[in-house]
Amino acid sequence: MENNNNKQPNKNKDDNDGSKRGRSELANNRKSLRTRDTGQLAGRSLEELRVKYNDKIDSNINSPSPGSRSGNVSRQGSVFVDLGQFLDFDDLLPLIGEFGWFQKLLFLFMIPFSFIAAFVYLGQIFMTLAPHNYYCFVPELALIDNETERMELSIPREKDGSYSHCSMYDANYTAIHFALNRSIYLNMSWPTIRCQNGYVFDPVEMPFRTATMEFGWVCDRDYFATLAQMLFFLGSILGGLGYGRLADLCGRITALVSSCFLALVGSLFTSLASNFVAFAATRLLVGASYDTCFTMIYILVLEYVGPKYRTFVANMSLAIFYAPFTMLMPWLALSTYNWRTFSALCSIPISLSLLSFWLLPESARWLVSVGQIDNAVDLLKRVARRNNKTVAPSVFDHFRFSCQQFYKEELQGRHFGICSIFKKPRMARYMVLMILIWMAISLVYDGHVRAASVLDMHNVFVFFSIACATELPGNILVILTLDRFGRRWCAFVFTCLSGIFSLVAAGTKSSKHMLGAALAGRFFANICYNIVLQWAAEVLPTVVRAQGVSFIHTMGYVAMMMSPPVVYLSSVSTSLMLLTLGILGLLGGILALFLPETLFHDLPQTLSDGADFGREQRIWHGPCCGPGSKRVKRPQRLWHQGSSLRTISRDEFRSTKMHRVARTRVAPRKTQISSQDTVAAEKMIQTYTFEHGKK
């Protein structure tokens, strides 16, 4: 950049010395960056390493001076400020390797945590499976070998001719046991009572002994399993809030390891539970670890992966790691024959995950956010060495300087909370819609996952595996369609299709057709579940994105608490359960049309941006065809996918376009000076505080 010849007289010697040191430091950095290295820096100029901050908050920015280069110097008042001085985290990733050996090893580390997530989420479903065929146990008749004779002597029949599940005759079974001719005791007019000594379950239908079978959670106690699953999601809400705070204070690895340890303790004590209270308490502990035990490693990997690989890594990790483990889970349960053994054995991989405290690197972004910039730089140097990349030391010095100047001011200038979203009517409407849509889709998704355990009671393990297999093509379809047809229409179409197929399944009398339609509903539920959270992260402005998405995510857990009662409706009517899921799917799809499209649009950065976002869009707006299909021509700027220097929050990981617009602090009106002098003297970027209405 050409220096401005007009020099501002310094007021004192200290300011003059500071300005000279700043100019010397910047000159040395630029000289080093222009040097052609034999490694990855060959052919790269300083312009490729700069982050362009576009200050679009003020509408009265004057054009740059005739002597300055366009795009590098912006004029605010009478002062020219260089906007290209800060090296972004995502600018550094191409230099140290976007998806080298370091990132590939991290990617493979997701395998054990994918198993943990599958076990924590799906394990309780198999522990509380309720068999379809059972009847009252009568100990006095246990020595009778003929099961049909035992049932004729003790079990009344229902109106349809089937044996009762929950009733038995009130008779003298001791006399029946010692009778030489038991047929004289066959009397269907005897009074009936509820089961007194437990139940007899069909081992052919259910070879896996569940907690429901052991504790007798059937008949008038069949809601116990549903209540235990609701407590699991209550733990998920509490754990999500607690671990989110812990991750910000103590780091990603600490939150990851502690959540896995909680899952380990909860699973081991689950295998020792002797009653419902103990079982429910241990499942509450396991629920508190749910989501965090996988989300943290998920975020960690995406933080080190380059922007152009994040969509692939984010979806393929779920497709090739998580989905196969969900398909494998019913067969692991079946191979152990008992829910206690299943819970204890599946704790072994969780115990191995505790070693990640010494094996996995901490998040470099988090280290920067807490002021440990030197540790972050050392970690990034190690990444470069592992990826066989050669990076000049001046680049890391430039990055360290950027972190010190930018991040400190950004964090100190942030005064926004969840309530800030509701101060603008349009943003408040978007927030309410996203909460309702996410709650509906979360309930539909989790309802379909749990419905697989009750739709085909004769082949529950086979059908459950087939239903989980729909995760793989669903994740691939998201990759193929989301960036082509947009979030809005994809969410509308796929969510409505899930609802339509659920309604078709509810109205179908043929069991085969019902299972096929229910599988189709599950397939589309997988897709829309992956779309909406990313969409929410893109609609909300940057300054409230983390808190807003976290709140939406928590409300999804609140909705998931209601999915066990919805599945419980299958005890009354399977069609009623599917009808509920279908109506919720249609409702969520229709509401999606009232949110703005984010594909090919500048995402909102400030509260004011959020209040205007989507104002020009109409309900028929589409990014691929029709109105809205043409990209708006805007001034060229260097966008960086990901969160840049901003730490990726635990709920921002699905967003593929997160940009920031930095606010440049301007010195009081002085004589015109060069951009280098301004940066050397000020070296300040501060987040604009909208709540107080001042700079």
Write out 20-71 in H/E/C secondary structure.
HHHHHHHHHHHHHHHCCCCCCCCCCCHHHHCCCCCCCCCCCCECCCCCCCCC
Helix (H, G, I), strand (E, B) or coil at 99: coil
Residue among 594, 685, 589 at smallest CA distance from 646: 685
Mean pLDDT, range 592-599, rounded to an integer: 84
pLDDT at 11: 41
Nearest to 406 by CA among 641, 638, 683, 19: 683
pLDDT of residue 445 exceeding 60: yes
User: Which tens digits make up the pLDDT trace of 449-505?
Assistant: 999 888 887 788 899 999 999 888 888 888 788 778 888 888 899 999 999 999 999
Phi, then psi, of 282 in degrees rounded to 5: -70, -35
CA distances from 147 to 154, 202, 600 (A): 11, 11, 68
Are β-strands 79-82 and 73-76 bridged in parallel, bridged antiparallel, or unpaired?
antiparallel
Q: How far apart are CA 357 and CA 351, in angstroms?
A: 12
Q: What is the pLDDT of residue 606?
A: 67
Are residues 383 and 92 in contact, defined by beta-carbon separation less than 8 angstroms?
Answer: no
Task: Determine the Cα–Cα distance for residues 14 and 20; give it in Å rounded to an integer.
Answer: 10
- Give the separation between CA 535 and CA 490, rounded to whole angstroms: 11
Bridge pairing between strands 134-136 and 79-82: unpaired
Give tens-digit pLDDT for 251-298.
888 888 999 999 999 999 999 999 999 999 999 999 998 878 888 888
DSSP, collapsed to helix, strand or coil, labels residue 510 as: coil
Contact by Cβ (8 Å): 173, 154? yes
Buried b (16+ CB within 10 A) or exposed e, 206-215: bebbbbbbbb
This prediction's pTM: 0.72
Q: Where is pLDDT greater, at 667 or 526?
A: 526
In contact, 515 and 584? CB cutoff 8 Å: no
Instruction: Inform me whether the pLDDT recorded for 46 exceeds 70.
Output: no
| Structure confidence by residue, pLDDT tens digits, 158-203 | 888 888 889 998 888 888 877 777 777 777 778 889 988 889 998 8
Report the percent of the chain where pLDDT is more than 90: 21
Annotate 387-403 with three-state secondary structure: CCCCCCHHHHHHHHHHH
Confidence of residue 538 (pLDDT cuts 50, 70, 90): confident
Predicted confidence (pLDDT) at residue 413 exceeds the cutoff of 60: no
Least confident of 20-24, 297-301, 504-508: 20-24
Task: State how far the Cα of 49 lies from the Cα of 35, in Å rounded to an integer.
Answer: 13
The pLDDT value given to residue 495: 92
- Look at residue 590 in the predicted model and tell me its pLDDT: 92
Between CA 312 and CA 301 the distance in angstroms is 12
- pLDDT of res. 255: 87
Give pairs for 30-38: CB < 8 Å, separation 24+.
Answer: 32/392, 32/393, 32/394, 32/395, 33/392, 33/394, 33/395, 33/398, 35/392, 37/390, 37/392, 38/390
Contact 336, 325 (CB under 8 A): no
- Residue 300: pLDDT band (50, 70, 90) is confident
Q: What's the mean pLDDT when you consider all of the chain?
A: 74
pLDDT at 1: 39
Query: Which stretch, 118-127, 308-317, 650-659, has highest mean pLDDT?
Result: 118-127
